[in-house]
């Protein structure tokens, strides 16, 4: 009986301890919630509750709660502008966060430290902390809370990069924040980000876009009675109008931001001074800025003050004072550059130290993945051996074929040599009779001339056949209207070709106009025969008129060419690079659609003053085919301008060498087309021909050249 009673009392004691611990933990959570909820309304009460919670969590050994209260106390001291105490609590909380592997808490610590550096005008250290926080939150599962945190960090990073004039990075972070807050439908923060983004647009000299965006933000803040943000919007508008050289308008915006005429801060004073200086009001500039010259200014603000005052005194003819201020500004600028360089080096060293903390975490994950990696290595090793063996077999086969061809050629040369020697002996015997010898030589010469004439007649006939197959200019005019064609064959017969066709679907009141430019393997007669074969295939496809899709037409052309050349038996591997456009008209809706398909050739399209390159597939029509079925993509291009110019080209223009063995190049060709696109097509053609002649400077033409330009 006593044993049962003792056991019962012991169990009750354990239960009391358990419920007491649960109650203490619940009390700490309640205390944290109360302190967090009243931080904005009553910061003194929040501080008292947070300090009590921090003391209790330390006493009870509750590390998670101690971390929460430590971060909260750092935030309270930050709001009270006591940055030293805030940083002390952050330093105390950081080891706890690292030991718990809680990335969100680590990110909160890094963010708090970054805010302190930002308020103390240490932008480089603040950037380092915010980027660290961004990296840590990126490791957490994606939720609405993490999306908001990442977007807020992007806003801070955008502001800081703007402060240190790294506008490329600032624009990247602003754009990312706008996208995130837009997805969350947070219109206030979107407009704040827009206002920051105008600074980047201002640096890119996109003044009209910046002005439109800033006016939109000002209207939004005005409608929602957000006076501080509206004031900031007026400052941005003043900067933009000053950049547009509307100095009086800029002064009006400054006055609207400060209607009561109260004291201006340094940023507003600088904006006002810039406008006074531009309006040759040097006395007003000096009177406005002299009170702000003190040691409390940041270095970059002090540099701007000194430079503006130097310019003002120069306007007044007081060159000694102007030179003094200017030299002082240069000295401060050199000091700022040195400090920024040292800060960047310090950031790099600190980032390396922080990275080492992540190495241990990554090491464990790497060990878990090591076995799987080894299995992959073994698989790739075996696969590599098989591929190497296959390549060796292929190399042996190719070497044997080459040896066989060389052997046959050598035997043929020996045979021809023997025949030639026989003919030579015969001619030597006949040479004793001079008259007979001259007769034989004349006869041989006549035969050579005849054969050459016959060959040239054949080539000219092939040219006439090719010209008959190629569409006439009248046909292109009737289908597409205004166009130009720069067509310069290297030889008499060209491996380049151009083609057009039209499909009318009267039943559905639709029609499709098709234009193409191709570049066959090689040039001369072989390329000409191949071009005529492709044109015949295209004509057959148009007669069928089953599908007006650009990619489909390329698919069928590829299949038809391979069948015609029996390329499945590997008789040859000739192919065609082709660019093809389809302009489809809907007569009922009075609309048109442009689609493009390319086989190793691009389409250049000019709209609204901009030339865009639409790249095709990196596969030719015909030739080698490793895949089972070759498909070509169809790209749809929106027609947004009243005047749209298309350019289809072969590679002859861009591959032409000059006497220095320098190619004209695709980038230079694209720039040339963009510069001429607004001109009449006849002028464009004349300019392109002149540029081509100037570039090659008497050099032999390397390849056939074709450029087809038309307006749709």
Q: What is the structure's pLDDT at 203?
A: 75
Does residue 5 register a pLDDT over 70? no
DSSP state of 712: -
Q: What is the structure's pLDDT at 11?
A: 40
Does residue 59 register a pLDDT over 90? no
3-state DSSP call for residue 599?
strand
Q: What is the CA radius of gyration of the chain?
A: 40
Name the nearest CA neighbour of 529 among 601, 461, 481.
461
Structure tokens at 400: 């044997």
* Identity of the highest mean pLDDT range in 188-202, 381-395, 463-477: 463-477
Task: Calculate ∠ Cα 87-93-94, nearest 5°.
Answer: 90
Structure tokens at 710: 């038309």
Structure tokens at 13: 């004691």
Q: Answer for the pair 657, 696: CB distance below 8 angstroms, yes or no.
A: yes
Among 191-195, 216-220, 339-343, 509-513, the minimum mean pLDDT is found in 339-343
Q: What is the structure's pLDDT at 710?
A: 95
To 10 degrees, the CA torsion angle through 682, 684, 689, 694?
Answer: 140
In the structure, what pLDDT confidence band is assigned to residue 267 with cuts at 50, 70 and 90?
Answer: low
Name the nearest CA neighbour of 201 among 186, 212, 190.
212
What CA–CA distance (Å, rounded) separates 362 from 44? 42
* Identity of the highest mean pLDDT range in 113-127, 182-196, 578-592: 578-592
Q: What is the structure's pLDDT at 359?
A: 46
DSSP codes of every residue in 138-197: HTS---HHHHHHHHHHHHHHHHHHHHTT-HHHHHHHHHHHHHHHHHTT-HHHHHHHHHHH
Q: Answer for the pair 90, 78: CB distance below 8 angstroms, yes or no.
A: no
Does residue 705 register a pLDDT over 90? yes
- Phi-psi label, residue 636: left if phi above 0, alpha if psi -120 to 50, beta otherwise: beta
Among 154-168, 509-523, 688-702, the minimum mean pLDDT is found in 154-168
DSSP state of 663: B
Which pLDDT tens digit goes with each residue over 341-362?
555 445 445 444 444 554 454 4
What CA–CA distance (Å, rounded) separates 472 from 483? 12
Dihedral over Cα of 467, 468, 469, 474: its sign: positive
Higher pLDDT, 206 or 580: 580
Structure tokens at 446: 């006549």
The residue-averaged pLDDT of 89-110 equals 77
E strand or H helix that includes residue 578: strand 575-586
Higher pLDDT, 597 or 638: 597
The residue-averaged pLDDT of 321-335 equals 74
E strand or H helix that includes residue 710: strand 705-711
What distance separates the 2 farthest-apart alpha carbons in the chain?
153
Does residue 575 register a pLDDT over 50? yes
Helices 144-163 and 187-203: crossing angle in degrees, nearest 10, is: 30
Q: What is the structure's pLDDT at 233?
A: 82
3-state DSSP call for residue 635?
strand
Among 25-29, 43-47, 201-205, 677-681, the minimum mean pLDDT is found in 25-29
The mean pLDDT of the chain is: 80
Q: What is the structure's pLDDT at 265?
A: 66
What CA–CA distance (Å, rounded) separates 97 from 107? 9
Does residue 541 register a pLDDT over 50? yes
Name the nearest CA neighbour of 560 among 544, 527, 537, 543.
537
Name the nearest CA neighbour of 72 among 109, 97, 106, 20.
109
Q: What is the structure's pLDDT at 16?
A: 39
Among 142-151, 288-297, 547-556, the minimum mean pLDDT is found in 288-297
In the structure, what pLDDT confidence band is assigned to residue 307 with cuts at 50, 70 and 90?
Answer: confident
3-state DSSP call for residue 616?
coil
Q: What is the structure's pLDDT at 348?
A: 45
Higher pLDDT, 210 or 1: 210
DSSP codes of every residue in 478-517: HHH-SEEEEEE-SSSS-SEEEEEEEEEEGGGTEEEEEEEE
List residues bridging with 707 in a β-sheet. 486, 649
Higher pLDDT, 259 or 428: 428
Q: pLDDT > 90: what percent of the chain?
A: 24
In the structure, what pLDDT confidence band is assigned to residue 634 with cuts at 50, 70 and 90?
Answer: very high
3-state DSSP call for residue 618?
coil
To 10 degrees, the CA torsion angle through 481, 484, 489, 490?
Answer: -160
Q: How far apart are the first and last CA of the chain?
A: 106
Helix, strand, coil % (nearest 5) of the chain? 70, 10, 20
Name the nearest CA neighbour of 572 among 521, 532, 498.
521
Q: What is the structure's pLDDT at 569?
A: 81
Does residue 525 register a pLDDT over 80? yes
Q: Answer for the pair 294, 268: CB distance below 8 angstroms, yes or no.
A: no
Q: What is the structure's pLDDT at 185?
A: 82
Q: Answer for the pair 98, 106: CB distance below 8 angstroms, yes or no.
A: yes
Look up the pTM and report it: 0.42
3-state DSSP call for residue 647?
strand
Q: Which residue has the tokens 């398909």?
A: 597
The residue-averaged pLDDT of 666-687 equals 95
The residue-averaged pLDDT of 13-29 equals 47
Higher pLDDT, 354 or 304: 304
């Amino acid at each position: 009986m006593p044993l049962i009673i003792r056991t019962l009392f012991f169990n009750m004691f354990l239960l009391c301890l358990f419920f007491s611990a649960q109650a203490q933990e619940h009390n700490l959570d309640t205390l944290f919630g109360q302190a967090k909820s009243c931080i904005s309304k009553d910061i003194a009460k929040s501080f008292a509750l947070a300090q009590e919670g921090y003391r209790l969590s330390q006493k009870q050994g509750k590390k998670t709660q101690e971390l929460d209260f430590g971060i909260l106390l750092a935030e309270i001291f930050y709001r009270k502008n006591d940055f030293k105490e805030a940083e002390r609590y952050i330093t105390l909380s950081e080891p706890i966060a690292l030991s718990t592997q809680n990335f969100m808490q680590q990110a909160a610590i890094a963010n708090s430290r970054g805010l302190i550096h930002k308020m103390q005008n240490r932008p480089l250290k603040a950037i380092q902390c915010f980027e660290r926080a961004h990296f840590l939150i990126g490791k957490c599962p994606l939720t609405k809370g993490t999306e908001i945190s990442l977007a807020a960090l992007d806003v801070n990073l955008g502001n800081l990069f703007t402060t240190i004039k790294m506008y490329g990075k600032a624009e990247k972070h602003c754009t990312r924040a706008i996208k995130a807050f837009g997805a969350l439908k947070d219109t206030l923060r979107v407009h704040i980000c827009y206002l920051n983004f105008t600074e980047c647009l201002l640096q890119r000299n996109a003044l009209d876009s910046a002005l439109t965006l800033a006016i939109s933000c000002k209207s939004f803040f005005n409608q929602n009675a957000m006076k501080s943000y509206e004031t900031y919007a007026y400052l941005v508008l003043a900067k933009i109008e000053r950049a547009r050289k509307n100095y009086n308008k800029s002064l009006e915006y400054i006055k609207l931001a400060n209607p009561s005429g109260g004291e201006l801060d340094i940023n507003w004073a600088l904006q006002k001074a810039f406008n006074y200086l531009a309006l040759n009001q040097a006395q007003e500039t000096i009177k406005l800025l002299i009170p702000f010259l003190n040691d409390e200014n940041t270095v970059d603000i002090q540099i701007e003050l000194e430079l503006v005052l130097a310019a003002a005194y120069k306007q007044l003819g007081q060159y000694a004072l102007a030179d003094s201020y200017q030299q002082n500004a240069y000295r401060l600028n050199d000091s700022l550059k040195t400090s920024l360089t040292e800060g960047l080096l310090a950031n790099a060293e600190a980032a390396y130290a922080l990275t080492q903390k992540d190495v241990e975490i990554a090491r464990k994950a790497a060990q878990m993945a090591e076995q799987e990696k080894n299995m992959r290595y073994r698989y790739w090793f075996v696969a590599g051996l098989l591929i190497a063996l296959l390549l060796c077999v292929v190399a042996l086969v190719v070497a044997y074929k080459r040896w066989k061809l060389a052997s046959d050629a050598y035997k043929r040369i020996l045979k021809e040599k023997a025949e030639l020697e026989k003919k030579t002996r015969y001619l030597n015997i006949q040479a004793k009779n001079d008259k007979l010898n001259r007769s034989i030589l004349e006869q041989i010469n006549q035969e050579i001339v005849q054969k050459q004439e016959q060959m040239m007649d054949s080539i000219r006939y092939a040219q006439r056949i090719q010209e008959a197959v190629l569409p006439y200019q009248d046909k292109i005019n009737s289908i597409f209207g205004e166009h130009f064609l720069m067509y310069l064959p290297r030889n008499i017969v060209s491996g380049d070709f151009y083609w057009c066709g039209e499909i009318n679907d009267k039943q559905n009141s639709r029609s499709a106009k098709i234009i193409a430019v191709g570049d066959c393997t090689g040039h001369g007669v072989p390329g000409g025969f191949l071009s005529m074969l492709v044109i015949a295939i295209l004509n057959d496809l148009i007669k069928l008129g089953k599908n007006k899709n650009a990619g489909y037409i390329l698919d069928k052309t590829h299949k038809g060419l391979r069948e015609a050349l029996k390329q499945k038996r590997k008789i040859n591997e000739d192919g065609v690079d082709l660019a093809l456009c389809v302009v489809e008209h809907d007569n009922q809706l009075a609309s048109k659609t442009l689609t493009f398909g390319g086989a190793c050739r691009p389409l250049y399209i000019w709209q609204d003053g901009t030339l865009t390159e639409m790249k095709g597939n990196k596969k030719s029509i015909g030739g080698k085919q490793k895949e089972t079925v070759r498909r070509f993509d169809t790209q749809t291009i929106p027609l947004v301008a009243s005047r749209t110019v298309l350019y289809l080209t072969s590679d002859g223009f861009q591959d032409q060498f000059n006497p220095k063995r320098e190619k004209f190049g695709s980038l230079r060709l694209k720039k040339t087309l963009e510069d001429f696109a607004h001109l009449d097509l006849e002028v464009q053609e004349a300019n392109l021909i002149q540029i081509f002649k100037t570039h090659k400077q008497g050099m032999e033409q390397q390849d056939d050249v074709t450029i087809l330009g038309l307006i749709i």
